[in-house]
Structures are given as C-alpha cells and as structure tokens.
C-alpha cells in the first residue's frame, strides 16, 4: 500500500501545483453548473472502494474546478486569503503524522507553544507561558476568551459558573459597538448571557467606539442591578477595517473592572505595518485578544488563536482532567485541552510555523504593508473617481465604497449597490462582496494578498463601473 501511496502523493503534488499554476488564468469564481452541483450534493456512498489514483482524478475533475476563489489576486471578498504555499505543504506533513495536539510529549505540542508565542510576538501582546491556544478560528477564540471573562466576573460576584451555572445570577452585561463582528453576539448567546445583555454603544462617524457612551451605559446597568463585566473593541472592524481607540478603553476597563477583549480576527496583524502601527497603541493592554492566522497571515484554513493575559484564569475556565487523560509528566502547563473546549486537537502549528518562517518577520511585515498601501491607493482612486464614493477612511486594508454615478437618485444607488456584488462575481474577473454600512448598501474590498497588483486593483474598479453601468441600463430599460 505504501508504494501506492508514494506514487499517489506525487500525483497529488502535480495536481495541486497545476491547480495553483492555473489560478491566475481562470475566472476568480463562477457559479456551478446545476448538474455539477447536484452531482456533488447527491453523490452516492459507494459500496466498494476506489483507488487513490481514481480519487485524485475525481478531485481534479469534480472539486478543483469549483473553488471559492480566494486563491486569486483578484479576490477582494469577505476576509478570506490565499493560502501560503509553505502552509499548504505543511498540512500534508501534519495530516500524515496525525497527532492530537491535546497534550503529551510530541513535536506538535511543543511547536504549538512556540507558535502561540510567535503570534503574540508578532502583534506585540504579552505572553505568559500558557497564555494562549490555537483554535479553529476567531469565533472559537472569542468563545474561549469570553467564557474566561464570564467565569471571572461571576466569581467576583460569588458564583462558580462552571459548577453552578448562570441560573439565578443577575445578568452579566458586555459592551460592543454596532460594528462588532457577529461572532461576539454568537458567543454571548452560546455562553448563556443573552444577546440583549450585549449592549451596543455608540460610535463616531467612522465607526470607533465612543467612551462617554460606554461610561453612561455602564452606569445605567449598575444602577439597574446588572453586572457589567466586558468591553469588546475591534482591531479592524468587518465593515470598514476601523481600529477602536484602545488606550482610553483600557483605562476605562481598568477603572470599571471590566474584562477588555480585542477582536483582532482580521486586523490585529496590521500592527506589523509601521505606517499604521500607531493605531494599535494600547492593544497590548487587553485581557484577551482573538485573532486569525488564517486571515492576513495566509495560514491555510482553519487557524485562529486566543491570547489571554492571565494564563491561570484561562486554564481555570476549562481544565478538567478525567482519569484516562491524566498525565503525570505533563509539567506545569498541563495539556492544551485544559485551556479550551477541544479534547482531540489538530496539528495546526505546523502550518503556522511554515507560513511565518517561509517569510520571516520582515517578509510577513512586508506582505501586510503591501496590502495596506494598496488599500490606501484603492481608496484614493475611489475618491478621485466621480462615479465612486468612499464611505470610510481606509485605516487597515478594507475599503468601503459604492458606485454612485452622477444624477442617479439615492434609492437607485442603493438598488445598484445591493445587486452589484453578485453581478460582478458572475463576470468572473474580480470577486468583491457587499455589506450594509450606516444604512447604505456598500461594496467592501478587503486586501489580504501580497501578490495583488495595481492592475488587479484597477480591474476591480473597472469591473464595478462596468457592471454598474450595465445594471443601471437594465434598470432604466425595465422602468
């Protein structure tokens, strides 16, 4: 069987190299033919097995022609990056070894400790031993961090949540802005806190948390007998990439005894760009920071990371060692499975290591700076174009804009921009997604790919205008 495996592994190497070579020449994305979609959805569980060669053939013919599109330098949708080639190779080795990085004395466990430290070093966050863990993504990292925050707050109110639960406790209240990622609300719901106890505090015009609004909300909640415990700030909001003012939030959190959590999923690594580094002042004062190496670092999906200032608090929120997992040799830090929700854990650290080490700190920083510079350029081009409108300052590498040809009524502009993302995607040249920002339908381009060129960015704007003009003509004809 191993000879089979060896030749199949070489065939797989060719398959993925061909795939990656082909990305620039293909449409970014195209909808699947209904028959091909149905063939996948209705694929029958085979009674008998098929050889490795045949399986790879099926991957090449039925799967690889239908990617999400985020491998392309012309993919500007959501916050999905192209994978680092070194990280791709690492996934092969990681799955061949197939350890559980729960704990024990094998390479993956020790490498994960080092990689959590590397990530903390990259974003300038303090890293006590044990103060972090790789997760499936920031959604999970947020659950880990907020569970830790919740448990500390309840303990301060005389309650052991792990033992006693939340029933009978006054509501614990957290504070977010309207720009916070939905994973914060999902975490609050999962943790039994209730989304109505996640209060939305006001922002300034560009989406930054306003301190006086936060203070007022805290005072109201205290007066009503609720227990304020958490404030969440963003190191790059979903809609516009805005970075919240960390220093004053940290001051307030310290004064009010709140847990200060930073959602750095997409944006935390922006700190590596010297030109925008100043925006991140105070991020290192957070109690916890959640971020996604599978976004701006290009680590193949999935890889998030939770960094927590107080490692003991983190371990205390999750440690539970049944007899069959007892490991007398585990050392002071114990097992990773004591620091989060998972027992069996994949070997994520190898792809993190490869993705960072292939470029080194300088290479990673250069890639990040490339993206922010290009986003600023895109922002400038939008501002210079009378048919386009920039809707927020470009703080990191997200550009929020819309198509607004002159002399067109606001209602029609809304209609156009709500339809534009799909229309553009179908053309297959570039991929951009939409959002609603401050009541407006917008286009939202996120630049994460260091191989994206000026020409790619220009093409994005050309496509927006060309697809927009087509849509507009269609609307006028149908009216």
Instruction: Compute the residue count for the chain.
Output: 479
The interface with a second copy within residues 314-353 (CB under 8 A) comprises 318, 320, 322-326, 328-329, 341-347, 350-351, 353
Does 124 help bind a second copy (rule: CB under 8 A)? no
Only one of the segments 74-82, 368-376, 406-414, 469-477 lies at the binding site for a second copy (rule: CB under 8 A); that segment is 74-82
Minimum separation from the CB atom of position 347 to a second copy (A): 7
Does 201 help bind a second copy (rule: CB under 8 A)? no
Does 132 help bind a second copy (rule: CB under 8 A)? no
Site size toward a second copy, by CB under 8 A: 160
CB closer to a second copy out of 138 and 396: 138
Site string for a second copy, 137-176 (x = CB under 8 A): xxxx--x---x--x----------xxxxxxxxxxxx----
Does 464 help bind a second copy (rule: CB under 8 A)? no
Q: Peptide bond preceding 126: is omega within 30 degrees of 0, i.e. cis? A: no
Does 19 help bind a second copy (rule: CB under 8 A)? yes
Give how far Cα 427 sits from Cα of 37, 139, 439, 451, 477, Å. 19, 32, 27, 21, 21
Only one of the segments 275-283, 405-413, 432-440, 460-468 lies at the binding site for a second copy (rule: CB under 8 A); that segment is 432-440
What are the residue ranges of helices labelled H in 85-125? 85-97, 107-123
Query: Which of 133, 145, 176, 191 touches a second copy (CB under 8 A)?
Result: 191
Site string for a second copy, 235-254 (x = CB under 8 A): ---xx---------------
The interface with a second copy within residues 78-117 (CB under 8 A) comprises 78-83, 85-100, 104-108, 110-111, 113-114, 117
Does 261 help bind a second copy (rule: CB under 8 A)? no
Residue with tokens 């607004």: 404
The interface with a second copy within residues 368-407 (CB under 8 A) comprises none
Q: Backbone phi, then psi, for 59, in 5-degree steps? A: -60, -45
CB of 84 within 8 A of CB of 297? yes
Give how far Cα 139 sits from Cα of 196, 224, 289, 478, Å. 19, 30, 12, 43
Which tokens belong to 304?
């998030």
Residue with tokens 């704990």: 103
Does 192 help bind a second copy (rule: CB under 8 A)? yes
Burial 53-75 (b: 16+ CB within 10 A, else e): eeebeeebeeeeeebebbbbbbb
Minimum separation from the CB atom of position 220 to a second copy (A): 17
Geometric angle at alpha carbon 411, from 410 and 415, rounded to 5°:
115
CB closer to a second copy out of 114 and 254: 114
The interface with a second copy within residues 216-235 (CB under 8 A) comprises none
β-pair type (388-390, 304-308): unpaired
The interface with a second copy within residues 28-67 (CB under 8 A) comprises 29, 31-32, 37, 40-43, 45-52, 55-56, 59, 62-67
Q: Which helix (H) or strand (E) holds 199?
A: strand 198-201
CB closer to a second copy out of 21 and 410: 21
CB closer to a second copy out of 141 and 249: 141
Which tokens belong to 352?
């993190």
* Cβ count within 10 A of residue 10: 10
């Amino acid at each position: 069987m191993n000879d089979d495996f060896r030749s199949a592994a070489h065939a797989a190497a060719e398959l993925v190299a061909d795939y990656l070579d082909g990305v620039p020449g293909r449409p970014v994305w195209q909808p699947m033919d209904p028959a091909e979609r149905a063939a996948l959805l209705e694929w029958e569980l085979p009674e008998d097995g098929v050889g490795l060669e045949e399986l790879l053939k099926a991957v090449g013919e039925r799967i690889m022609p239908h990617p999400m599109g985020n491998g392309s330098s012309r993919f500007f949708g959501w916050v999905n990056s192209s994978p680092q080639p070194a990280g791709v190779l690492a996934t092969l080795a990681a799955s061949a070894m197939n350890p559980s990085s729960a704990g024990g004395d094998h390479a993956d466990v020790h490498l994960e400790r080092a990689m959590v430290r590397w990530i903390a070093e990259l974003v300038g966050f303090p890293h006590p031993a044990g103060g972090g863990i790789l997760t499936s993504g920031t959604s999970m990292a947020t659950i880990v961090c907020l569970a830790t925050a919740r448990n500390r707050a309840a303990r301060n109110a005389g309650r052991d949540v792990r033992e006693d639960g939340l029933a009978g406790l006054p509501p614990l209240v957290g504070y977010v802005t309207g720009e916070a990622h939905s994973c914060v609300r999902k975490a609050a719901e999962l943790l039994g806190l209730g989304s109505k106890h996640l209060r939305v505090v006001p922002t300034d015009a560009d989406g930054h948390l306003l301190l006086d609004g936060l203070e007022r909300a805290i005072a109201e909640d205290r007066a009503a007998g609720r227990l304020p415990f958490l404030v969440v700030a963003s190191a790059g909001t979903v809609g516009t990439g805005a970075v919240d003012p960390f220093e004053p939030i940290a001051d307030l959190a310290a004064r009010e005894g709140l847990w200060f959590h930073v959602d750095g999923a997409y944006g935390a690594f922006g700190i590596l760009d010297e030109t925008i580094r100043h925006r991140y002042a105070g991020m290192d004062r957070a109690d916890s920071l959640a971020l996604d190496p599978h976004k701006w670092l290009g680590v193949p999906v999935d890889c998030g990371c939770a960094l927590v200032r107080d490692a003991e608090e983190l371990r205390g929120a999750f440690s539970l060692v049944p007899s069959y997992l007892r490991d007398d040799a585990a050392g002071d830090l114990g097992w990773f499975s004591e620091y989060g929700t998972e027992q069996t854990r994949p070997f994520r650290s190898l792809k993190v290591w490869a993705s960072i080490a292939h470029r080194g700190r300088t290479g990673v920083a250069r890639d990040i700076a490339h993206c922010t510079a290009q986003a600023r350029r895109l922002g400038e081009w939008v501002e210079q174009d009378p048919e386009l409108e920039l809707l927020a300052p470009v703080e990191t590498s997200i550009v929020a804009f819309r198509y607004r040809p002159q002399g067109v009524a606001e209602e029609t502009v809304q209609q156009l921009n709500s339809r534009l993302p799909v229309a553009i995607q179908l053309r297959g040249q570039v991929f951009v997604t939409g959002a609603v920002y401050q009541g407006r339908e917008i286009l939202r381009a996120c630049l994460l790919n260091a191989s994206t060129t000026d020409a790619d960015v220009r093409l994005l704007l050309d496509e927006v205008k060309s697809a927009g003009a087509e849509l507009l003509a269609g609307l006028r004809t149908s009216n």
